Chain A
Amino acid sequence: MAEIIQEEKGGGKKRAKKVVPHMDMTPMVDLMCLLITFFMLTTAFSKPKIMEIVLPEKLKDPNQQAPKISASRTLNILLGPDDKVYTYPGSVKPEDYNNLPPLNVADFSSGPSGIRYMLLERNRALFKKINDFNQQVIRGEIVISQDSLRGAISKLKSDDDTGPIVLIKAYKTANYGNFVDILDEMNICGIARYTFVDIAWYEEKMVEFASGISSSTATATSTN
């Protein structure tokens, strides 16, 4: 491509040219185009986001008791294998260990079979309150700064005493994506009180029974 044309005028007396020397910028433009393309492709424009979660402190003192919560408001969510979620309300009493309550199956879709449908159903009062509040802010009926907006919503949440208290537990074959998904659902549905706790042995049994896997195969897959 590059060509150097040397003009040679035989014998003639050399005269200084009056024309301003002109530089061809096209190769430079080509090069810059390449560099820009390279930078645009390697730059990570969208920074990854973070989702905050606070887990309850571990009880190190054996005499310490876990806080008591009312069984009527409790909703247990068990993350099962194959992206399935199992739920049951209340708690299981020791005398029911031989006769475990059945589990409801849900998934992470947004349709009627999804966990979101069920959570919104139970959390409707609070969700509606938060939603109305947000709408009022958008319409300009309430003037509030962005910082106090978050505070106001968390106040709405802490004042709430109708929504469920969700206990999230993970079966051993669940994956990390399920865990993030369920915490995400908590944020979407505006659940005021939720926490992540260890799964109990009878709950593992309930998941195994509901998903139709025997406990021996489950151990085999979890060690893989």
Chain B
Amino acid sequence: MILASAGNALVWIVWVAAAFSCLASGVAVISFSNAFYSALALIGNLASLAVMYLLLNAEFVAAAQVLVYAGAVIVMFLFVIAYVGPRRETPWSGGPGWQTIAAVAAAGALLVEIVVAVGLQASGSLARESKVGAAFGTPAWIGRVFLVDHLFAFEITSVVLLVAAVGGVILGSHTRRTDPGIIGVGAAEEREPEPEMVH
């Protein structure tokens, strides 16, 4: 009995730490003026989310989260941020403009809407938690569910990834002669137009 309550307290401690670091790193992602630091803060966010997935018996999803996000997506982000160079932006400076106020109001309204929608459900169908077996969330179980019950979703996912990969390659390698009339639109005051590169 004491052991059970100690385990329960331990789960709560881990959960509170993960939830706090998840939300704190989320705030950090949108607050850093340097995009590089934002991407690094997102790694902390993903790691704490993986801890919460482990608490939810989703071992395979937690491992996939770390592999796919922290291993592939964030590395791609960091490469692109390093490629485009530093562009500083101070998100919360210069006083609250009307756009910032409207954005905060819209995000707050969205949050309130979600909380109300979930809260209305929480008294009813969310009150009773169902039991799951020990195999729930393990790679073997995921593989059986994925390849037997949800085979179509699996195949569609592969098609989506293929299309995205082709699109990324086309977007990244598409070259056209830089129109001199376009150069002055945006970045002329930030950096000099480079001499035309040969790709």
A and B held together in a complex: no
Interface residues of A (CB under 8 A from B): none
Interface residues of B (CB under 8 A from A): none
